[in-house]
Chain A
Amino acid sequence: MAATRVEPRAREIFSTLEYGPVPESHACALAWLDTHDRLLGHYVNGKWQKPEHRNAASCQDPVTGENLATFLQAQEKDVGAAVQAARTAFESWSQLPGTTRAQYLTRLAKMIQKHLRLLWTLESLFTGRAVREIRDGDIPLAQQLLQYHAIQAHIQEEALADWEPMGVVGLILPPTFSFMDMMWRVCPALAVGCTVVALVPPSSPTPLLLAQLAGELSPFPGILNVLSGPTSLAPALVSWPGVQKVVFCGAVEEGRALRRSLAGKGATLGLALGTESLLLLTDSADVDSAVEGVVDAAWSDRSPGGLRLLIQESVWDEAVRRLQGRMGRLRSGRGLDGAVDMGTRGAAAHDLAQCYVREAQSQGGEVFQAGDIPSNNPFFPPTLISGLPPAAPCFQAEVPWPVVMAFPFRTAKEALALANGTPRGGSASVWSERLGQALELGYRLLAGTVWINAHGLQDPAVPIGGCKESGSSWHGGPDGLYEYLRPLGTPPQPPYFCESLNYDTFGLAVPSTLPAELEIGSSPEPPYGLFVGGRFQAPGARSSRPIQDSSGNLHGYVAEGGAKDIRGAVEAAHQAAPGWAVQSPASRASLLWALAAALERRTPALVSRLERQGAELKAARAEVELSVRRLRKWGAQVQAQGHTPQVAGLKGPVLRLREPLGVLAIVCPNEWPLLAFVSLLAPALAHGNAVVLVPSETCPLLALEVCQDMASLCPAGLVNVVTGDRDHLTRCLALHQDIQALWYFGSAQGSQFVEWASAGNLKPVWVNGGSLRAWDQQTEGAGPELGLRAARTKALWVPMGD
């Protein structure tokens, strides 16, 4: 018999049946760090860069405090070099056929397959997350993402023929992120032909390793460049020419600051903010399974953040008892232990949770903590807070990991009001065994993702995004691809930043207008006033502005709208929005077609007004005709909404819903006074939005002309048209907190202001940066881009089984 190894502990364990450590060897991660002498620079253009005289940030093991590696912090010129590399690579990478890019992504997936242990131990070692989640969840998902996007690249020429890649994409990641956040964004960007410069916090080597793996494969090493550095380098990243898109995921306030600092810089900004999610537990639910859902959502390393938990009153006691029992069995410990449920997220996350819990306690919340937790600092126990009234100050604050804030509700209606009453709109789950109730809640929750009787499921084919302050960018699925595409043939937007623009005074005051000479109207005047709430109303300021025709004569007076009028218009729109959103596609289509018919009948009046504005008769006729066609086109397209993605490993459908944004504000350009107005209005209405519109500043009479028909055809408040000083009205709209999206087609300064001001409620904005748009062309005037921007996606997961 072979020599025996004596095991003294077995006897003891036999009686206690306790769990023991399942350590995961991370020798390969350390060995990889050693090959870099524990000093990590940047991976740019397929090479490791270790520039001299840079600040070094040393990074410690979050549990032992042992020094793991030192990261060199990038400076502006490093960013410049990376952007240059990415630009050079973009020249050739974007021109490759999709099939070649597909092969490359597949090879990268295979490359990852060869270094699995290195990846998962490295990630767990530095982030402190449970290695089990990274090994069994993240890494397989990363490979699926590469596979899915390889397929998308392969069919790009057919499926996305009218689109082209944007250019260089800047990716900014916060310190508390997992490398999956990077994969979700890098994969679609590379697939469609963009190249990437990623700015990662100087504490995560996994993105560098990924860049190295990608760089070793590719004949175009500059497609993925990774720099370590602080988020504050973002403006520097954007200031280099060629960066067309900046993607950020992280905390809400950081996103807000970034939105402000990038205003006018020319790059579009995609924000995915906040980590909190929501779980709605109704009395018909399988409570035990819902408790597992709570564990998935907050007390595991699958979840990014904390949870707001709404429990129906009648099952409150039962649910809380089960939750508390389950919490007691959670194990926390070093992430590299294969048996722990929860690792640590470092000292910052600990302090955040600690601070939140203390505050909740002081405001009257009951705190319950349990679980098998090491007592030293970085670990924070699973926490359940209850009894905090919604009026308590910390009720509105974002719930941090690993905290669950529970509160009761009486009816499903009340649950919706409570759930939709926060500024966040990320992900939510509904637990109910009643199909009707579950779907009703699923459809009416304001969130980017809703799972029914599940929480936290993900798939590359299903878009993930949000609404409200959770940001409006998407990753995954077709929506994730469009983030990095622009319509074919449209030139990249030049920067329109103006250093001297004063945000405090822009559009603040309306230049006063004096009455000019008498009007000489060739055609009958449209009714005077602002078209608000379905009728023409006198402006709050009780003053008017003269409109001149092309020869400088007075064409007529229009009402001078102001802040109060905008407020009234937005209120009216909000009243009309819910009713319009639930209209069937057929009735939306019929309204648009009726509008088209009315416009057609009005052709002579419209043509003569256009002529007075200086248009040739032929051109004027064409503009009216095209406007009619646009209304019909969007009416016909209303039907084609949403689709059902196929998801591996899930029985049951995932519905990709296209939901209305709510109240959409549109500032029309001066040129094409009728066509631009109609081209913007039609997709907005077709997708179920209520609209507040500022028509062409120089020629608003055509829009008012159309309003006469809308007064009789549209529900009151669905379309509101406010005339007046464009800058002033833009200021009112951009600063309004209850407008869900804003499209602006005006000056460069106005665009910059809109972007800056939108940080308030983080509404998605679409600005022209002062450049003209070819409204008579199909792509720019009626392309799919408008439809994409006029609605938001929601993924509704409906697993099935009995």
Chain B
Amino acid sequence: SLCRALLSPPDLSWISRAQVNQPAVLRRAEQVQARQAVKKAWQAAWLLKAVTFIDLTTLSGDDTSSNVQRLCYKAKYPIREDLLKALNMHDKGITTAAVCVYPARVCDAVKALKAAGCDIPVASGETRGYGRCHPNPHGIGWEHLQKEIRQFRKASGDARVKTILATGELGSLTNVYKASLVAMMAGSDFIKTSTGKETVNATLPVAIVMLRAIRDFFWKTGTKVGFKPAGGIRTAKDALVWLSLVKEELGDEWLTPELFRIGASSLLSDIERQIYHHVTGRYAAYHDLPMS
């Protein structure tokens, strides 16, 4: 399927025709946010599922091997064992989807994960084929941008390519849609809202537009492209909203770590707190749950 996407000639008329109505998308985002997706057992199960989508991330200047090691252990054991047992989920092998660190800390992470005896992938986009495309699609045209991304695609060989759109900088939701299409046409396997370190990160309206682009691309080419929001997803409630958004816009088949990731650092501890509450009926103290 990847080859098919690569071989397909760029459909620029599709890009130029694209229309996104911003106020309508904002209203949809409000509706999605206002609805209570799930409660009780459903909430617990959904939250555990959310854990498996997390790219557990630390991208700080002061990262060292010790906190990266802590992070990796947390990735392996994201939820306290007894809580999982109470939910009868201890044998499901629930870990986060990946660990995300700076290139300089990749070795530490791999070592720590090996020591923990698990095969959680370590992600660090910057290690291979890091590149930044021309930041201004208006200046160079969508076609040119697609060519640039395609070159990264070629340079990465068999590796999976994730394109970060920096949606906060794109100016309009129509541009978000177009940029998503361009990235997918150029062969990206994943599209991501933002680095997670920008002033505007993952927002629901942007996500709605990107998810619709992913679905349209799937309908047209048969290729499933993954989606990763990053930045600003901090609470369990947020996570539930994001899961239900993907479920609503793309359907259940996208709710797998191969096609959906959440870039987050503090989300996991809030999810664990909610699970604690679900299992025990009490709100956890800070020291009840292991830190990462």
Most buried by A among B26, B40, B42, B255: B42
Please list 28 pairs of residues, one from A and one from B, whose beta carbons are closer than 8 Å in the complex, sorted by A's number: A4-B82, A4-B280, A7-B40, A7-B278, A8-B88, A11-B88, A13-B42, A14-B45, A14-B89, A17-B243, A18-B42, A19-B37, A20-B40, A132-B34, A132-B36, A286-B24, A289-B20, A289-B25, A289-B28, A292-B27, A292-B28, A329-B251, A453-B21, A453-B23, A651-B23, A799-B23, A801-B22, A802-B174
- Closest Cβ of chain B: how far from A652's Cβ, in Å? 7
> A7–B282 contact, CB under 8 A?
no
* A7 CA to B40 CA, complexed, in Å: 9
In addition to A7-B87, A801-B21, 12 A-B residue pairs with Cβ atoms within 8 Å of each other are A3-B280, A13-B42, A17-B46, A17-B252, A20-B39, A132-B35, A136-B34, A289-B20, A290-B24, A339-B38, A454-B27, A800-B23
* A617 CA to B25 CA, complexed, in Å: 70
> A453–B24 contact, CB under 8 A?
yes
> A13–B45 contact, CB under 8 A?
yes
> A13–B46 contact, CB under 8 A?
yes
> A6–B88 contact, CB under 8 A?
yes
Residues of B contacting A431 in the complex (Cβ-Cβ under 8 angstroms): 21
> B26–A801 contact, CB under 8 A?
yes
Residues of A contacting B173 in the complex (Cβ-Cβ under 8 angstroms): 802
Residues of A contacting B31 in the complex (Cβ-Cβ under 8 angstroms): 292
> B34–A10 contact, CB under 8 A?
no
- Closest Cβ of chain B: how far from A728's Cβ, in Å? 54
* A304 CA to B45 CA, complexed, in Å: 36
> B48–A14 contact, CB under 8 A?
yes
Residues of B in contact, count (CB < 8 Å)? 47
Contacts A293-B24, A433-B21 given; indicate if A288 touches B38 (C-beta within 8 A): no
Report if B104 contacts A (CB, 8 A). no
Residues of B contacting A11 in the complex (Cβ-Cβ under 8 angstroms): 45, 87-89, 92
**Whose C-beta in chain A lies nearest to the C-beta of B175?**
A802
Residues of B contacting A286 in the complex (Cβ-Cβ under 8 angstroms): 19-21, 24-25
**Which residues, 240 to 292 on B, are CB-close (under 8 Å) to A?**
243, 247-248, 251-252, 255, 278-282
* A802 CA to B26 CA, complexed, in Å: 11
Report if A1 contacts B (CB, 8 A). yes
* A288 CA to B213 CA, complexed, in Å: 10
> B212–A288 contact, CB under 8 A?
yes
CB contact between B279 and one of A4, A14, A21, A289 (< 8 Å): that residue: A4
Report if B76 contacts A (CB, 8 A). no
Report if A285 contacts B (CB, 8 A). yes
Report if A520 contacts B (CB, 8 A). no
* A800 CA to B23 CA, complexed, in Å: 6
Report if A230 contacts B (CB, 8 A). no
Report if B86 contacts A (CB, 8 A). yes
Most buried by A among B89, B243, B279, B282: B279
* A802 CA to B205 CA, complexed, in Å: 12
* A385 CA to B39 CA, complexed, in Å: 35
Report if A2 contacts B (CB, 8 A). yes
Most buried by A among B31, B174, B212, B243: B31
> B44–A802 contact, CB under 8 A?
no
* A289 CA to B92 CA, complexed, in Å: 39
Report if B155 contacts A (CB, 8 A). no
Residues of A contacting B41 in the complex (Cβ-Cβ under 8 angstroms): 7, 9-10, 13, 20
Report if A568 contacts B (CB, 8 A). no
* A8 CA to B85 CA, complexed, in Å: 11
Contacts A4-B279, A20-B42 given; indicate if A14 touches B23 (C-beta within 8 A): no
* A332 CA to B86 CA, complexed, in Å: 32
Q: What 3 pairs between A and B have smallest CB-CB spacing?
A: A20-B42, A289-B24, A13-B45
CB contact between B82 and one of A1, A284, A652 (< 8 Å): that residue: A1
Report if B162 contacts A (CB, 8 A). no
Contacts A2-B281, A5-B281, A10-B88 given; indicate if A329 touches B21 (C-beta within 8 A): no
- Closest Cβ of chain B: how far from A690's Cβ, in Å? 37
Chain B 45-66, CB-CB to A under 8 Å as 1, else 0, gives 1101100000000000000000
Residues of B contacting A13 in the complex (Cβ-Cβ under 8 angstroms): 41-42, 45-46
* A290 CA to B212 CA, complexed, in Å: 13
* A652 CA to B26 CA, complexed, in Å: 14
* A132 CA to B46 CA, complexed, in Å: 21
